[in-house]
């Protein structure tokens, strides 16, 4: 029952709908009390020969009219009640999605995608079902049950009513116990469903890799194990669920036995007429639904309560990076970074130490170093995905921690290491950050990213569907589409996180040339393993183990002993060796 208290904010706001539905339910309950009374009148009238055939038909007509009115009123209350509960589903999902969009990478390190999806779908459905069917069964069972009890006690016999209700306290205790067990078992079942959802999502997302490694049987076995576990936990829920109806029917049967036995004795004694006993048994039949509804309500509400607890735990989780209050100043500004120390959540060893640089408007900063040096971490801190432990990053002299996140990030255009494309057209993917972009603007961004010609070779050009995650495109095409998407934003600061790793050297050279033309007076930050991408940078930071070990312009670093010179020479040699077969192939026809 605590779920109704937790949802009181919604019931209070939508009180007109719920009050209207409750009022109609009460009216329906009152109307349903009339037919059993009329049947008793008809039976006594016929037995005592005081009621004519015309009178019998009149009372039957009244009962038919009541049935039609009840039908119409039931339609209206369903519209009111379930309309309100469906609106709750919309709001819960909107709040949930908004909460997920506010979270930062640290949140997604702790929560898996399948579990988050399960809470947005299955759990919300359970809460909505409780807010609709749960409220219905609660009100209907209480109103109908209380009304029937009052009529039975006042209009027929309170002694017989008390006798018939003797099994009820035992039933109430049993249902309460079942409800507590159901709550705990349903939470476990929902957690198992989330795990199964995780397994499904991961398997579908990585299906190409699974098939490439021939892991179909292994993944099927893992999925079967998760499905079996979820099935077992749901079976434990079903075992509890299955106890409700037998308990109620045994109680109802016992109540009927006591009513007929006690009522027959009272008819023989003359304290009760046969018509009154008939009405009493019919009223007792009306108690079947309230008792079933009460048990069903406990079932629904306990499931909804467990589900709402899972949703609330997510909604209550504050973002790990707090939003600032200041707007980012207008105009282009200098970025000053002084990262004294930073470590990722749940790790003790620092990822970055003593990393500092100053980047003036229109300048280009290059980041390089071996894998795991901390390059992507620096770019994440620039985007404020995490807060710095010691130190700060400033823009226009204002620490990023004091700026509004949306205002700061609107100044950035980012291309990440792993490009993500939506299951949409090429044009829509490029225009993701600027939905109102014209076709001319989209094509201009594609030309700057050197992907325009590739797009024209696709079956429908810019209207080609790229498939889920861009499955029909190559890695280089995905990267260049992501670069075009970022360039279309025309942002002040462009961040490329190893965004040219999947393109060949010639295409890389063309893109960098285009970026130099596009990026006039724009700040560009490039992280790259291929050092040829950094030759035009105003300053290059060479990082190792979270520290800056070298810094300077390309020409200076290329002549200075250290990792940069060694890697640059190695990459030059590698490029030269790659060119040898091409040169030989060009000369072979001439020699022939």
Q: Are residues 371 and 261 in the same domain?
A: no
Query: Which residues, listed in sequence order, are joined to residue 355 by a DSSP beta bridge?
Result: 339
CA distance 325 to 335: 19
Q: Which of 509, 460, 464, 499 is nearest to 478 (CA)?
A: 499
Q: Are residues 308 and 347 in the same domain?
A: no
Whichever domain contains 217, its CATH number is 1.20.1560.10
Q: What is the CB neighbour count within 10 angstroms for residue 557?
A: 24
DSSP 8-class letter at 494: E
Between 254 and 161, the more confident residue is 254
Please check whether residue 231 lies inside any domain of the structure: yes
CA distance 582 to 580: 5
Model confidence at 462: pLDDT above 70:
yes
Model confidence at 268: pLDDT above 60:
yes
Q: Are residues 216 and 341 in the same domain?
A: no
pLDDT-derived band at 592, boundaries 50, 70, 90: very low
CA distance 367 to 539: 9
Question: Region 255-284: what's the mean pLDDT?
Answer: 76
Q: Are residues 284 and 350 in the same domain?
A: no
CA distance 410 to 417: 20
Please check whether residue 568 lies inside any domain of the structure: no
CA distance 578 to 572: 10
Q: Are residues 134 and 278 in the same domain?
A: yes
Q: Are residues 311 and 341 in the same domain?
A: no
pLDDT of residue 367: 92
Please check whether residue 570 lies inside any domain of the structure: no
Model confidence at 580: pLDDT above 60:
no
Q: Which of 259, 286, 315 is the last residue of a domain?
A: 315
Please check whether residue 287 lies inside any domain of the structure: yes
pLDDT of residue 591: 46
Q: What is the CB neighbour count within 10 angstroms for residue 322?
A: 11
pLDDT in tens, 313-331: 888 888 878 888 888 787 7
Q: Are residues 294 and 400 in the same domain?
A: no
Alpha helices in 206-287 (DSSP H): 207-212, 216-269, 274-286
Please check whether residue 581 lies inside any domain of the structure: no
Q: Are residues 381 and 512 in the same domain?
A: yes
Question: Region 381-408: what's the mean pLDDT?
Answer: 88
Between 28 and 378, the more confident residue is 378
pLDDT in tens, 147-191: 777 777 777 777 777 777 777 778 778 877 877 777 778 778 878
Please check whether residue 48 lies inside any domain of the structure: yes
Phi, psi angles (nearest 5°) of residue 339: -95, 100
pLDDT of residue 340: 92
Model confidence at 239: pLDDT above 70:
yes
The answer to whether the CB of 469 falls within 8 A of the CB of 421 is: yes
CA distance 264 to 334: 96
Q: Which of 311, 385, 410, 409 is nearest to 94 (CA)?
A: 311
Between 247 and 583, the more confident residue is 247
Query: Which residues, listed in sequence order, are joined to residue 394 by a DSSP beta bridge?
Result: 336, 399
CA distance 238 to 236: 5
Q: What is the CB neighbour count within 10 angstroms for residue 427?
A: 18
Residues 6+ apart with CB under 8 A from 419: 470, 478, 479, 481, 482, 499
Q: Are residues 292 and 342 in the same domain?
A: no
pLDDT in tens, 524-552: 899 888 888 888 888 999 999 889 999 99
The answer to whether the CB of 325 falls within 8 A of the CB of 404 is: yes
Token output for 371: 């894998």
272-276, 288-292, 305-309, 421-425 — which is least confidently predicted? 288-292
Please check whether residue 320 lies inside any domain of the structure: no
51-55, 181-185, 372-376, 547-551 — which is least confidently predicted? 51-55
Using CA atoms of 583, 585, 590, 592 in order, give the dihedral in degrees to the nearest 10: 140
Q: Are residues 339 and 306 in the same domain?
A: no
Q: Are residues 285 and 421 in the same domain?
A: no
43-52, 179-188, 389-398 — which is least confidently predicted? 43-52
Whichever domain contains 495, its CATH number is 3.40.50.300
Question: Region 58-77: what's the mean pLDDT?
Answer: 81
Q: Which of 315, 343, 362 is the last residue of a domain?
A: 315
Mean of the per-residue pLDDT values for the chain? 80
45-49, 108-112, 311-315, 533-537 — which is least confidently predicted? 45-49
Cα diameter, the chain: 128
CA distance 499 to 518: 17
3-state secondary structure of 539: strand
Q: Which of 372, 391, 490 is nearest to 431 (CA)?
A: 490
Structural domain boundaries enclosing 269: 7-315
Token output for 407: 């205002």
Q: Which of 315, 344, 365 is the last residue of a domain?
A: 315
Q: Are residues 297 and 342 in the same domain?
A: no
Please check whether residue 575 lies inside any domain of the structure: no
pLDDT-derived band at 469, boundaries 50, 70, 90: low
pLDDT of residue 590: 45
CA 185 from centroid of its chain's CA atoms? 23
Model confidence at 201: pLDDT above 80:
no
CA distance 217 to 203: 12
CA distance 575 to 234: 60
Place of tokens 């077992």: 232
Q: What is the CA radius of gyration of the chain?
A: 36
Number of domains present in the structure of the chain: 2
CA distance 144 to 30: 8
Question: Region 95-100: what's the mean pLDDT?
Answer: 86
Model confidence at 309: pLDDT above 50:
yes
Question: Region 493-516: what's the mean pLDDT?
Answer: 81
Question: Region 247-252: what's the mean pLDDT?
Answer: 78
Question: Region 369-375: what's the mean pLDDT?
Answer: 87
């Amino acid at each position: 029952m605590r779920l109704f208290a937790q949802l009181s904010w919604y019931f209070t706001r939508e009180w007109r709908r719920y009050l209207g539905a409750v009022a109609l339910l009460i009216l329906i309950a009152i109307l349903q009390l009339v037919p059993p009374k009329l049947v008793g009148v008809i039976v006594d009238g016929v037995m005592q020969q005081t009621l004519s055939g015309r009178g019998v038909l009149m009372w039957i007509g009244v009962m038919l009219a009541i049935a039609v009115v009840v039908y119409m009123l039931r339609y209206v209350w369903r519209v009111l009640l379930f309309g309100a509960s469906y609106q709750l589903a919309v709001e819960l999902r909107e709040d949930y999605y908004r909460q997920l969009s506010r979270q930062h990478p640290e949140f997604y390190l702790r929560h898996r995608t399948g579990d988050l999806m399960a809470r947005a779908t299955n759990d919300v459905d359970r809460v909505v079902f409780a807010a609709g069917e749960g409220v219905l069964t609660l009100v209907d069972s209480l109103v109908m049950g209380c009304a029937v009890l009052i009529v039975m006690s006042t209009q027929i016999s309170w002694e017989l009513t008390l006798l018939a209700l003797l099994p009820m306290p035992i039933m109430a205790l049993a249902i309460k116990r079942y409800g507590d067990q159901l709550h705990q078992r349903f939470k476990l079942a929902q957690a198992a469903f989330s795990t199964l959802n995780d397994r499904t999502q991961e398997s579908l997302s990585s299906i190409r890799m699974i098939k490439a490694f021939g892991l179909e049987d292994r993944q099927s076995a893992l999925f079967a194990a998760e499905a079996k576990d979820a099935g077992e936990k749901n079976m434990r829920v079903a075992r509890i669920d299955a106890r409700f109806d037998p308990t109620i029917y045994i109680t109802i049967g016992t109540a009927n036995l006591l009513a007929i036995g006690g009522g027959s004795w009272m008819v023989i004694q003359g304290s009760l007429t046969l018509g009154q006993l008939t009405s009493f048994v019919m009223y007792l039949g009306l108690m079947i639904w309230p008792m079933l509804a009460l048990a069903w309500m406990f079932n629904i509400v306990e499931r909804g309560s467990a589900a709402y607890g899972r949703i609330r735990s997510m909604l209550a989780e504050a973002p790990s990076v707090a939003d600032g209050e200041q707007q980012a100043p207008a105009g282009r500004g200098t970025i000053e970074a002084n990262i004294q120390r930073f470590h990722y959540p749940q790790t003790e060893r620092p990822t970055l130490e003593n990393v500092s640089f100053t980047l003036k408007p229109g300048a280009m900063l290059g980041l390089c170093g071996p894998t795991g040096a901390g390059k992507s971490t620096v770019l994440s801190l620039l985007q404020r995905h995490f807060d710095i432990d010691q130190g700060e990053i400033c823009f226009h002299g204002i620490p990023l921690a004091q700026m509004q996140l949306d205002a700061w990030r609107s100044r950035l255009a980012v291309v990440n290491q792993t490009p993500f494309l939506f299951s949409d057209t090429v044009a829509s993917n490029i225009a993701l950050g600027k939905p109102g972009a014209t076709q001319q603007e989209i094509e201009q961004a594609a030309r700057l990213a050197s992907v325009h010609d590739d797009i024209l070779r696709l079956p429908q050009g810019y209207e080609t569907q790229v498939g889920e995650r861009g499955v029909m495109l190559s890695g280089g095409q995905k990267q260049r589409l992501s670069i075009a998407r970022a360039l279309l934003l025309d942002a002040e600061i462009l961040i490329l996180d190893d965004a040219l790793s999947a393109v060949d050297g010639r295409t890389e050279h063309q893109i960098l040339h285009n970026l130099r033309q596009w990026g006039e007076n724009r700040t560009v930050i490039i992280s790259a393993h291929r050092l040829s991408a950094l030759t035009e940078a105003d300053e290059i930071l060479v990082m190792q183990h979270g520290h800056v070990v070298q810094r300077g312009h390309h020409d200076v670093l290329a002549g200075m002993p250290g990792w940069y010179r060694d890697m640059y020479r190695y990459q030059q040699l590698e490029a030269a060796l790659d060119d040898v077969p091409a040169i030989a192939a060009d000369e072979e026809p001439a020699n022939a």
